[in-house]
Structure 1
Amino acid sequence: MACLPTTSPALASRRWLGLGLFVLLCLSLGYAQNNVVKIVKSKAGDKVGLPCCHEIPTSESLQRHRVYWQKNTTVVVLAYVEGKKMPQDKQYENRTEINTRNLTLWMSPVEILDNGSYQCVVQRLSSSPNGDSVVLCNEPVILLVTADFSEPNVSAEVSADSCELTEMVVRCSSHGGYPKPQISGALNNEPVAWNVSWVSESSLSPYNVTGKFKLNVTKDTNFTCTVKYNGFTKSSSLLLTKPEGCAVPTVPPSYNVITATSIIIIIFLLAITLAARYLPRHGLRIQWKRVQKSVRSHLRALK
Structure 2
Amino acid sequence: MVTLLPHAPAMALRRWLGLGLSVLLCFSLGCALEKKVVKSKVGEKVGLPCCHEIPSSESLHNYRVYWQKNTTDVVTAYAEGKKMYEHIQFPQRYENRTEMDTRNLTLWISPVEILDNGSYQCVVQHFRHSQNSYVLCDERVTLIVTADFSDPNVTAEVFANSCESAEMVVRCSSHGGFPKPKISGALNNMSVEWNARWVSKSSLSLYNVTGEVQLNVTKDTEFSCTIEYDGFTKSTSLLLKKTNDCVVPTVSPSYNVITASSIIIIVSLLAVTLAARYFPRHVCSHCCKPQDSVEEDVKECTKPMSSKVSSETSSV
Give the alignment's TM-score, normalised by structure 2: 0.69
Indicate which of 9, 34, 39 corresponds to 1:36: 34
How far is 1:252 from its partner?
8.2
Cα distance in structure 1, aligned partners of 2:194 and 2:181 = 15
Instruction: String of CA shifts for 1:234-281, please: whole Å, max 9, x gaps.
Output: 000000000023223557899x9xxx99xx9xxx9xxxxxxxxxxxxx
Cα distance in structure 1, aligned partners of 2:245 and 2:60 = 81
Instruction: String of CA shifts for 1:49-76, please: whole Å, max 9, x gaps.
Output: 0000011111111111111000011101
Partners of 1:184 and 1:191 within 8 A in 2: yes
Q: How does 1:231-270 map to 2 (within 5 A)?
A: 231-249=231-249
Cα distance in structure 1, aligned partners of 2:32 and 2:140 = 12
Cα distance in structure 2, aligned partners of 1:251 and 1:163 = 16
Partners of 1:126 and 1:134 within 8 A in 2: no
Q: How does 1:100-111 map to 2 (within 5 A)?
A: 100-111=102-113
Partner in structure 1 of residue 79 of structure 2: 81
SS in 2 for 1:173: strand
Instruction: String of CA shifts for 1:124-161, please: whole Å, max 9, x gaps.
Output: 12222xx6211111100000001000000000000111
Cα distance in structure 2, aligned partners of 1:252 and 1:159 = 27
| Coordinate RMSD, CA, aligned | 2.9
Cα distance in structure 2, aligned partners of 1:139 and 1:41 = 17
Partner in structure 2 of residue 67 of structure 1: 65
Partners of 1:117 and 1:141 within 8 A in 2: yes
Instruction: String of CA shifts for 1:201-250, please: whole Å, max 9, x gaps.
Output: 10000111111111111100000000110000100000000002322355
Partners of 1:155 and 1:170 within 8 A in 2: yes
Partners of 1:155 and 1:171 within 8 A in 2: yes
Cα distance in structure 2, aligned partners of 1:108 and 1:225 = 33
Partner in structure 2 of residue 18 of structure 1: none
Read off the aligned partner of 2:58 and give its amino acid letter. E
Partners of 2:197 and 2:210 within 8 A in 1: yes
Partner in structure 2 of residue 281 of structure 1: none
SS in 1 for 2:57: coil
Q: How does 1:223-302 map to 2 (within 5 A)?
A: 223-249=223-249
Partner in structure 2 of residue 188 of structure 1: 188
Moved runs in structure 1, 4+ residues, more than 2 A? 29-34, 248-254
Partners of 1:66 and 1:124 within 8 A in 2: yes
Cα distance in structure 2, aligned partners of 1:216 and 1:38 = 48
Partners of 1:122 and 1:135 within 8 A in 2: yes
Partners of 1:40 and 1:142 within 8 A in 2: yes
Cα distance in structure 2, aligned partners of 1:100 and 1:249 = 83
Give structure 2 stretches of 5+ with no counterpart.
Answer: 1-15, 267-272, 278-316
Cα distance in structure 2, aligned partners of 1:78 and 1:252 = 87
Partners of 2:183 and 2:196 within 8 A in 1: yes
Read off the aligned partner of 1:110 and give its amino acid letter. V
Partner in structure 1 of residue 55 of structure 2: 57
SS in 1 for 2:115: helix
Partner in structure 1 of residue 290 of structure 2: none
Partners of 1:163 and 1:246 within 8 A in 2: yes
Cα distance in structure 2, aligned partners of 1:190 and 1:221 = 11
Partners of 1:151 and 1:235 within 8 A in 2: yes
Partner in structure 1 of residue 142 of structure 2: 142
Partners of 1:225 and 1:237 within 8 A in 2: yes
Partner in structure 2 of residue 99 of structure 1: 101
Partners of 2:163 and 2:244 within 8 A in 1: no
Read off the aligned partner of 2:236 and give its amino acid letter. S
Q: How does 1:161-172 map to 2 (within 5 A)?
A: 161-172=161-172
Cα distance in structure 2, aligned partners of 1:116 and 1:243 = 51
Cα distance in structure 2, aligned partners of 1:93 and 1:194 = 43
Structure 1 vs Structure 2: percent identity of aligned residues? 67
Aligned residue pairs, count: 237
Cα distance in structure 2, aligned partners of 1:34 and 1:74 = 22
SS in 2 for 1:132: strand
How far is 1:194 from its partner?
1.9
